[in-house]
Chains A and B, each alone.
Chain A
Amino acid sequence: MSDLIKKVTALLNDKTINAFIGYEKGSANRIRAIFVRTEDQVQKLILNASCTQNLTGYLMKHEVKKLGKLGILANVAALRSIMQLASEFQIKDGEVYVLFANADGSLTEFTDFKSIETFLQTTDTGIKSEEQEMIAKLEAMTVNERWLFWNKEFEKCIKCYACRAACPMCYCHRCTTDVNQPQWIPVASHELGNLDYHLMRAMHLAGRCVNCGECATACPMDIPLNLLTYQLISPIKATFDATAGMKADAMYALSTYKPDDKENFII
């Protein structure tokens, strides 16, 4: 019996939690979420290198919340999601029991925000090198080339909103896209509607995205839309010294300011 299974069994038994969100084997070598409440569900829990999905989005789902006190298996991105959600008053301290899977497979438990914050301070939260390269490649292009690149990518988009649904930070009951007075973002999935949607979403995640990559993974049309928000991470860090999801009481980069914020384009 793995440590995880032991631990979760104990948590369920002593009623620390009512349900635990972890991973199970899915179809065709996929890994998927499982909501463990019973003995036999516990046995399905797995933990391996492929368990990368950021499960925190489920903490915001109505029916999952209804399961009672939740425990969750988290990776670094998930910890950061929790911090960010906390800073936006969506999760309260102590509300969720967090088990963190270390690289060596051992588990660390976090029962309060403070300990997550401390942990994150010494953790690598950067984006993957492939993604960095991709961003660099795009940045090296001319503006027009980038326009064409994204035009082609957005053309594929079918506005299924899987990206939004998968993103832990997209928890609004009514997304801007769904607001119809006025209809800021065309509902239609034509070129304009797609561009508007992606620009809008990227801006709304600027400074909030915890670079978990769920959005791009979720996209059935394989659009690298995570690059949009990833690209903003370093300028936000550089100009405002802010990184999303590091502290439970952090101020959002775009709702604060410094009188001497530096820019070079305003005349």
Chain B
Amino acid sequence: MQEFEPKIVAFVCNWCTYAGADLTGTSRIKYSANVKIIRFPCTGRIDFMILMKAFENGADGIIVSGCHPNDCHYSTGNFHARRRWIVFRNLLNFTGIDTERIQFSWVSAAEGFKWADVVNNTVKKIKEIGPYENYNKIAVSTLFNEEGATNE
């Protein structure tokens, strides 16, 4: 059987983690290709619904990363984001959504190595837990199946 290649999306801020990942690149540090980045101006912009959308479109794991506290380009975006994640994680956990699959991190523009670590560790972890079947079962694509939403 083919090895499970998890789909992982990373939502990162432009100023720290995106730049950090750029540094990972310029330093030629290798990491797993499973993770793909979507750029945001700031972690403050990352609406919790964005995470839901990632799971329901088939993501097995999610990384959310931004500037370290006090380093936000906009001063406070990451502080607001942090509160949001604290609450959202609670909610996800309570509704039975696997918070193990969401890795939050602070990666600065200077932490090229850290970014590679975050990615590699997350990929490793998700490979261990396996595909997110619970969510896949209800994902958008199920509507195209035979049983779909047709006849109850």
A binds B: yes
A contacts, CB < 8 Å to B: 138-139, 141, 143-151, 176, 184-186, 188, 190-192, 195-196, 198-200, 202-203, 206-207, 227-228, 231-232, 235-236, 239-240, 253-259, 261, 263, 265-267
Bound: A263/B102 CA distance, A: 14
- B1 interfacial contact with A, CB 8 Å: no
With contact pairs A235-B90, A254-B84, A254-B87 given, residues A192 and B104 touching in the complex (Cβ less than 8 Å): no
**Contact across chains for A259 and B83 when beta carbons are under 8 A apart:** no
Which residues in chain B, 60-109, are within 8 Å of chain A measured between CB atoms? Answer: 69-70, 76, 79-80, 82-99, 103-106
- B56 interfacial contact with A, CB 8 Å: yes
**Contact across chains for B82 and A144 when beta carbons are under 8 A apart:** no
Given contacts A150-B96, A258-B79, A266-B85, list 8 more A-B pairs with CB under 8 A.
A146-B93, A148-B96, A151-B96, A192-B140, A202-B95, A236-B87, A263-B86, A266-B106
Bound: A141/B53 CA distance, A: 26
Number of interface residues of B (CB under 8 A): 41
Measured between beta carbons, the chain B residues less than 8 angstroms from A265 are 85, 89, 99, 104
Q: Name the distance in Å between B66's Cβ and chain A's nearest Cβ.
A: 9
Measured between beta carbons, the chain A residues less than 8 angstroms from B82 are 257, 261, 263, 266
20 contacts between A and B (CB under 8 A): A139-B94, A141-B96, A146-B94, A147-B134, A150-B95, A151-B96, A186-B140, A191-B138, A192-B56, A192-B140, A203-B48, A206-B91, A254-B80, A254-B87, A255-B80, A259-B69, A259-B70, A263-B85, A265-B104, A267-B118
Question: What secondary structure prevails in chain A residues at the interface with B?
Answer: helix
Interface string of B134-147 (1 = CB under 8 A from A): 10011110110000
The 4 closest A-B pairs by CB, nearest first: A147-B96, A146-B96, A257-B79, A191-B138
With contact pairs A146-B95, A228-B95, A255-B80 given, residues A188 and B149 touching in the complex (Cβ less than 8 Å): yes
Q: Name the distance in Å between A198's Cβ and chain B's nearest Cβ.
A: 8
Bound: A202/B149 CA distance, A: 25
With contact pairs A138-B94, A199-B91 given, residues A192 and B139 touching in the complex (Cβ less than 8 Å): yes
- B38 interfacial contact with A, CB 8 Å: no
Q: How many A-B residue pairs have CB under 8 A?
A: 117
**Contact across chains for B95 and A147 when beta carbons are under 8 A apart:** yes
Which residue from B90, B103, B137, B143 sits with its C-beta under 8 Å from A232?
B90
Interface string of B46-59 (1 = CB under 8 A from A): 00110011001000
Bound: A202/B48 CA distance, A: 11
Bound: A225/B103 CA distance, A: 27
**Contact across chains for B90 and A231 when beta carbons are under 8 A apart:** yes
With contact pairs A196-B56, A228-B95 given, residues A207 and B140 touching in the complex (Cβ less than 8 Å): no
Q: Name the distance in Å between B147's Cβ and chain A's nearest Cβ.
A: 11
Measured between beta carbons, the chain B residues less than 8 angstroms from A148 are 96
